[in-house]
Amino acid sequence: MDPIALPSGTTWHLRAAGQKLGYRAQLPGARVYDLVGRGVRAAKARGVSDADRLMFALPASWLVNSPAVSKVLRRWALPPHDETCLALLEVLEGGPDAWAEDAGTAESVRLALASLGDEPYVTEAISKVMALLAPDVVPLMPAPARGFVLGDGAKDAPDAFMRIVEWFARTVTEHRVALEGVAREHREVELTAGGVLDRLLWFDSEGHRHFPAIP
């Protein structure tokens, strides 16, 4: 794959993509999360509502070490926070072109996240829900991934979520052919183009610590 420019100003070289995805698939929680993602996409294709798919995604986010405690997920599953989550999903699925046409998108996303709670881990926790519902738009955003993309000085900024989403969605579009080629070669579970990029982001930002070094 061609190198990928990061908002931090550095360049990301994606190497050994198939091997990295294979390593990640050895982790039980990660593998089941990917299977849930496939199921959530199949449910959407069959007409299952966003509201019902949100209920699948909330508990499944724990499979990839979501820091949200059960009372937070309960809060997000009930009014009015479930409506906030669904409105956020609708905005995110609009894509980069729609975001560019609405100058208030970034601020509306920031306010939506703020309304979900004042827990310091909200960005990471909601990303692990939304990545199941909109995998070509939202990656997992634990602190190492945010630092990898934005730089350590910007990873906790109020606009970190939207900056990463904007970068991620455009990168998926620009590299879709190559990413889908990697996805086809991955035999463990079906992934979207964004799913491939997301998992490689996790591996290169922190996941590599769990596995033997790749030459």
* Residues 201 and 149: beta-carbon distance below 8 Å: yes
Proportion of the chain above pLDDT 90, given as a percent: 97
Q: Mean pLDDT score of the chain, rounded to an integer?
A: 97
CB atoms within 10 A of CB 5: 13
Tens digits of per-residue pLDDT, 41-76?
999 999 999 999 999 999 999 999 999 999 999 999
User: pTM for this structure?
Assistant: 0.96
Which mean pLDDT values do the consecutive 10-residue runs of the chain (215 residues) have? 94 97 96 98 98 98 98 98 98 95 94 96 98 98 98 96 98 98 95 98 97 89
Cα–Cα dist 33/120, whole Å = 23
Per-residue pLDDT of 104-117, as tens digits, reads: 999 999 999 999 99
Helix (H) or strand (E) holding 149: helix 143-150
Positive or negative, the CA dihedral 104, 106, 112, 118 is negative
- Predicted local distance difference test score (pLDDT) of residue 7: 97
pLDDT value at residue 215: 80
CB proximity list for 92: less than 8 A, separation 6 or greater: 109, 130, 134, 137, 138, 165
Residue 48 CA, chain-centre distance (Å), reads 21
Query: What's the DSSP call for residue 64?
Result: G
Question: Count of alpha carbons within 13 Å of 205, Cβ hemisphere only?
Answer: 22
150: three-class secondary structure by DSSP? helix
pLDDT at position 65 is 97
* Alpha carbons 38 and 161: distance in angstroms, whole number: 24
